[in-house]
Structures are given as C-alpha cells and as structure tokens.
Structure 1
Amino acid sequence: MIVVHLTDGLGNQMFQYALAKALAIQNDTDIIFDMGWYEINKYRGRRLYQLDIFPMNCHKVNEAGKCWDFALKYLHFTRNIFRHKSNSKIRSLLGPTGVSIKEKSPDYDSTVPEVAKDKNVCLTGYWQSEKYFRHIRRELLADFRFLPELEGKNLSVSQQIKNCANPVALHIRRGDYIATDFDVCGLDYYQKAIKYITEKVGDIQLFVFSNDIPWAKENLKTDQEINFVDNNTEENGYEDMRLMSLCRHHIIANSSFSWWGAWMGTAEDKIVVAPKKWMANEESGHEDVVPSEWIKI
C-alpha cells in the first residue's frame, strides 16, 4: 500500500496524490490518505481536505474519535500526542518491511520509484514535479474530474470560454502570499506573458482569476479583452481551477493551484507561461516544478 501524508490546500493535495497514484500503479496496490494534518489543524483556520470533489476511492487513516476531537479543539498540547498516535497507526499498516520516504528537496528525486518498488510506503512531502507522474497523465486526468455539476455563473463562464478563439487563463496570487517566502509575481511579469502569447497566437481573451480581484481590476491593463472571474469563494474555489483548465492557454502564478489548472488543460497547442522564480528567498531550487515545455519569464 501507499500511504500519503496530505497537507495544505487543493493544489498541494493533488501533487501528493499524483505521486501516490504513480507508485500505486507501479506496485499494483492501494492508496491510503493520512488525514492527521487536517485533524490537527481543522480548528485553527487552516485549509481543509478537498480531494473529495474528485472521484477517488481511497481509504483514510483517521484516529480522531469524539474525545480526541474535543482535545484537539481546546487543548493545544494534544497536537503532538495525536500526531504520534496517527504515526503509530501508519507504522502498523506499513508492517516491518515498509519504508517512509520524505522529500529531501523541492526538486525531483529520481530514486523515489526504485526505493518504493514492491514495498509498503509512507510519503511525506510536496512532490511538486510532473516528472513523478507524467507517464500516468491519462489516469490522473480521469481521477481529477470535477464531480460537482457546473451551474450558474460558472456554467455561463465555461460556455464563454468555449466560444472564444484564444481564451487565456491568467492567475494572480496575492493575499496569502504577501509577506511570505513566495515571490509575488509583479505586473511586469504579466505584461511580458501577455505580450509573448499575443505574438504567438494573435488577439486573446483573458480570463483573470485571483484571490485579490480588486487589485487585479485596478492594476492589470492591456489592449486585450479581459474577463474577471470574481464569483467564487474559498469554499468553491476549485471552480476557478476547473474554469482555468478549460482555457486554451495559461499564464500561471507561482502557485500549485494555477499549475494544476494549466496542467489539466487539454488543448494540443496550449502555451503555458510560468514565472522563472518560484520562491522569493532562493537563488535556485524548484527547478523541476515547471515542465520543460512551459515558457519561463
């Protein structure tokens, strides 16, 4: 079996699942989700598990009963106790020959498939490189089908995208990125990306997605047609990812969320523009997060 330690928001969960899926196919085995991070953080305003919007039938390790639920909510010191309890459960699932594989760096680790071969495995990390799972793209696209039906404004936007000749998803990530280690992409990046795509395909129709739409409306200026998609909230934010994936071309932020919106795009001639720099505080690293055929600016 492949046990995967899930953490953080939807984009990160998808990366973590994608490697687990690749290893599960390699080993002809099942996937189990370690839900400990979400049990620990659900009362502290952290992001919650979101993969249930996709058709997945994975088992979950969940040690929290009513007593633990009460303790996690009101007693801060129980977090480490709970984590130990969850880890004990995972060790029992892996058995004596199971291995724990922890991510060593942000870049692709070619040893992971071989270390995991024919073993029970527990994965801990972000695994943000398609090199881990590019060979199972067809299977992942089948798994990452959005279950909720499109409706209302999202349905009309999807139809608008389909009726455009060159719809381009443009993602601006601000808000939670301000004053963090992530490098906030500036207007210069977006202007260069728009210029690059228009030089390649001619006039485009921009569909702008952001967690700071007011800033985007005030600052993003271009001669191209702009549509600001501002109807979704954090609860149904996955709809933004779905709409991104319907676009023909993509201008992503340094964000796993728009990364997946672009990766799931199925246009054979798609152009994806990504920022050269992923983190603000590093000169190198994250070299493998952007697929080789995408354009770095």
Structure 2
Amino acid sequence: MERRKYIVIPCLTCAFVLIFFVFQTDVNEFSFSEVFDNSMKNERTTKRTSTKNTSFSFKGKNLPVLSKKVGNEPTTKIFLKHTKLNFTTKGRRISTIHPTRSSPKQTKFNFTSKGMRISTTKGMTISTTKGMTNSTTKVMTIFTTKGVTISTLNPAISAVRNNSNNNTHFLCPNFMGGFGNMMFQFAAHFGVAMSKGMQVIVANKSELNRVFKLEDIDIRNNIDICKTFISRGEKQNCAYDKNILNFNNSQNIRLGQYLQSWKYFYDFRSQLRKQFTFRDLLLQEAKSKIVQTVKRFNIGSTRDITLVGVHVRRGDMVNHKFGYNIATPEYLTKAVQYYKSKYKNIIFIIASQDIPWTKANMPNNTNVEYLDSPKREIIVATLSLCNHTITTVGSFSWWIGWLTGGEVMYFKWPAKEGSGLRKQYSKDFSDFYYPGWIGM
C-alpha cells in the first residue's frame, strides 16, 4: 500500500503540470523559433523516413529575402532565427496526441518559389485539450520582428541554397566602362541567369555592390575563377543578340561586352529592380536633397508638386570621333515644354557635366534645381526619386530613366549616321530604348 502512494503522487503532480501547460497555451498561436533552430542543427542526423507533405500558402505583404551577407550567415539561418509562425487552421477536428510526442521535431522545411512546404513523417498534429484541426491547414502567415512577410527565394536561388549536391553553374560579368555600362552588364547577366537557373558572381569590392543591395548574388572577395569561364561575345554593343545565349546551364559563362539592350532582362524586370535598391546611406542623402529642394521652392504641398529629373550628358561626347550625337537645345526645350503642358507645380532637378551650357539652354520661367554632387551614385539615386525623367544620351541617362519610371523622354538620334557607333545599334534603335519611352 505504501508503495502505491509513492507512485500515485508523482503521477498526479505530472497531470496537474500538464493541465496547467495546456490551458496556458493559445491554440491559435505557436512560436516555433527554437524548435526550428534545433531542427536545422539536427537535420543531418534526422532519419528521413516518410513521404506525406502538407503545403502552405503565404499571406501578407512581400519583401525581398534577407541579404546573404547579413551577419555573415546564410539567409535561411537568419530567417529562422527571426521568424514567428502563426497557424490558421480549418478542417475537421482530430483527437489529441500525447504531449510528449513532439511533431515539430519531425518537421523539415523546404523553400520553394511559390511558398514554404512543410513535410512531416506523419503529417503535422498538435496536442490540445480543446481540439485542433488536422494537417489540412490552408494559410500560414509569417510575421517577422517588423511585422511583415518575407518572400521566398526564386527557383534558381532556391536550387543553389537547398541542394547540397547542386550542380548550378555561374555567369560572371566582366565590368568595363562607366557606371551605366556596368549596370547594363550586370542586368544582362542577371536576366540570363534567371532564365537558365544559374547564379551571378560579383566581386565584393565592385562599385555595383558598394552602391546597391545586391540580393541572392554570389558575392566573393576573390573572383579569379571567372578567368576560367567560357567567353561569349555579342555581335552589337547596343542591340539584342539572341545567338549569344545559345548555351546550356551546365557551363560557366562570361558574356561580353556591353550588352546594352533591355531585351536581355525584360522578363525579370521586377526582380532586377529589387537588385538595384540603393544602400541606406546613399538613399538617405538623396532623399534629403529632394526634401530641401521642395521646401526651397514652396510652390504647393508635396502631393501637388511634380519632380522631373534631367540628366544632360556632354563632356567627352562633344566632337567625339566614334560618332556620338549630343542632345540639342531644341530637344531640351521641347522636352521641358512637354512636361509643363501636362503637369502643374513642376520642379526640374538637373545634373550635368556642363552646367554653364545647360543653364544657357534651359527655357526661362522654369523652376530649376541643379545638383552639385560630384558623386555619380548620388546623382542617379537623387534623380531616380523624381516622378519623370528627361534623358539625353548615354547609358547613365538610360538607367536614371529606367529606375525612375513615370514618363521618360529620350533624344531619338544618339549616333551619327554612317559612324562606327551607329553600327552598334539595331536598325530603329528599338533594341536599346525601352518600350513606352517618348522619343523627340
């Protein structure tokens, strides 16, 4: 009899603790951060035995995935450390299971391009005295520490990150020329990599990596491996060459040279815009310049003002033997008048290598602000915050217009007929100038 007392008392204690734990738990919200971390650490030692999968969809506002370089840890590791999962369930009720059977320990996470798939050996079940729905869960909302949703990786990046035996091959830009040229070279390689399920390699010290938050790009301190890649040259520098893309993704490739056509990356333009996100300090300085300009003119509320960025390229293009045409005073006047006829309270924010010429040829009675920054990254960041753009010639102007959006004006004749430069464009320049832009 005495022996039975010693057995019953501990059992009753366990029962009270268990009941207290269950009723203190919110059945609609479970924080699995620590479980996920442990699951990731033990993944290699976990026996993979079964096959039943449960799919979940995402709900909320998408943001780019965390940078590969944050904290010198892989994206997936940081994602799990800072993620809290709320499960919204529907379906039939199921019986509770023993509280000591921890199904999250059997959970494996696989990232896909359309969401997150959770696989368990027996389906996911959660114990509760109040009843819980089964593993036909339909919605998963992911809340970060900032309360917004994080998007999953694209298919190519997902393959690289999740396949321990991946055979993914690489594209490596050979950056040359000015900042606008480098943006074209990166954009073309990025578009091709996305279409072929490959990865882009960029040097850590490259100017593009210094200016932009390049995400899901293979950033390396040493890119000597790129010297061993197969080179494929384009037929024309400012026209689309489909033959340059006649290779499969089982090769490491360098494309050349200038690749100045929107057709190389048009299908992945939204992903490219995320790549060309300015680093915080640059963006902060650019925004400060915009705010100061608007306050100085004091011509209406911020919502009523239209900002038009103007980039005037002259400098080395004036009298260049290769055949550059520079924008004329007549073009500048027509472009300014176009916007003034459509919008009110306009401020033109101008950047140029030749401020005296620009001031002499800007139409009178126009609100004008001239940028005095010599840094090209500050120029492109500031002008890209405007509503519309007047470009002149050159790749730098081109990218200001592309990043800005809105209505973009361009000078229709960037090359002299019969010149070496003219031969680098397609017949009607349509491979170079972006669809929907307005030529004058």
Q: 1:289 corresponds to which residue?
A: 432
Q: Specify the alignment match of 2:175 in structure 1.
A: 6
Would you say the 8 A contact 2:211–2:282 is kept in 1?
no
The answer to whether the Cα contact below 8 Å between 2:392 and 2:410 also exists between their aligned partners in 1 is yes
- CA distance in structure 2 between the partners assigned to 1:152 and 1:214 by the alignment: 28
- Give the root-mean-square deviation of aligned CA atoms: 2.8
Q: 2:414 maps to which residue?
A: 278
- Cα–Cα, structure 1 residues 222 and 128, in superposed 2: closer, same or farther, change >3 Å? farther
The aligned counterpart of 1:129 is: 261
Is 1:54 aligned with 2:209?
A: no
Deviation for aligned residue 1:18: 0.5
Give me the whole-angstrom Cα distance separating, in 1, the residues matched to 2:364 and 2:341.
14
Among 235, 240, 244, the alignment partner of 2:383 is 244
In the alignment, what sits opposite 2:333?
Answer: 191
Q: 1:264 maps to which residue?
A: 403
Compute the TM-score of the two structures, normalised by the length of structure 1.
0.74
Do the aligned residues in 2 keep the contact of 1:4 with 1:34 (CA within 8 Å)? no
Equivalents in 1 of 2:290, 2:339: separation in Å? 21
> Are residues 1:22 and 2:162 paired?
no
In 2, Cα distance between the equivalents of 1:228 and 1:28?
Answer: 43
Alignment of 1:174-253 (within 5 A): 174-180=314-320, 181-202=323-344, 204-230=346-372, 232-233=373-374, 236-253=375-392
Q: Which has the larger radius of gyration?
A: 2
- Indicate if the aligned counterparts of 2:324 and 2:415 stay in contact, CA closer than 8 A: yes
C-alpha contact 1:251 1:273 (8 A) present in aligned 2: yes
Q: Which structure is richer in relative contact order (CA contacts within 8 A, separation 6 or more)? A: 1
Structure 1 pair 150–102 and aligned structure 2 pair: CA distance change class (3 A) = closer
* C-alpha deviation, 1:32, in angstroms: 2.5
CA drift at 1:197? 2.4
Q: Distance in 2 between matches of 1:296 and 1:182?
A: 17
Question: How many percent of aligned residue pairs carry the same amino acid?
Answer: 26
Q: Is the 8 A contact 1:168 1:247 kept in 2?
A: yes
C-alpha distance in 1 between matches for 2:255 and 2:317: 26
Q: Which residue of 1 aligns with 2:233?
A: 102
Say whether 1:167 aligns with 2:307.
Answer: yes
2:173 alignment partner, SS class: strand
What CA distance in whole angstroms lies between the structure 2 residues aligned with 1:155 and 1:26? 34
Find out whether 1:254 has 2:399 as its counterpart: no
Secondary structure, in 3 states, of the residue corresponding to 2:389? strand
The Cα of 1:169 is off from its aligned counterpart by: 0.7
Cα contact 2:283–2:381 (8 A) shared by 1:
no
Secondary structure of the corresponding residue to residue 239 of structure 1:
helix
Partner in structure 2 of residue 75 of structure 1: none
Amino acid at match of 2:264: Y
**What are the superposed Cα offsets for residues 10-59 of structure 1, whole Å, 9 maximum, x if unpaired?**
11101000011112222322223489xx9xxxxxxxxx845421123433
Superposed, 1:23-102 pairs within 5 Å as 23-33=192-202, 49-56=207-214, 57=217, 58-59=219-220, 90=226, 92=228, 94=229, 99-102=230-233
Structure 2: how far apart are the matches of 1:33 and 1:146?
16
* TM-score, with length taken from structure 2: 0.52
SS at match of 2:404: coil
1:34–1:112: structure 2 CA closer, same or farther, 3 Å change rule? farther
8 Å Cα contact 1:275/1:296 also seen in 2: yes
Partners of 2:337 and 2:282 lie apart in 1 by 32
**Residues 23 and 116 in structure 1, CA contact (< 8 A), matched pair in contact too:** no
**Distance in 2, Cα, partners of 1:27 & 1:200:** 43
Q: Distance in 1 between matches of 2:202 and 2:417?
A: 31
Map Cα deviations across residues 161-202 of structure 1 (whole Å, 9 max, x no partner): 693621111111112222223211111111111122233335
1:175–1:148 distance in 2 versus 1, CA, 3 Å: farther
Read off the aligned partner of 2:433 and give its amino acid letter: V
One-letter amino acid of the counterpart of residue 232, structure 2: I
Which residue number corresponds to residue 271 of structure 2?
A: 139
- Alignment partners' CA distance in 2, 1:51 and 1:10: 12
- The Cα shift of 1:292 comes to 2.2
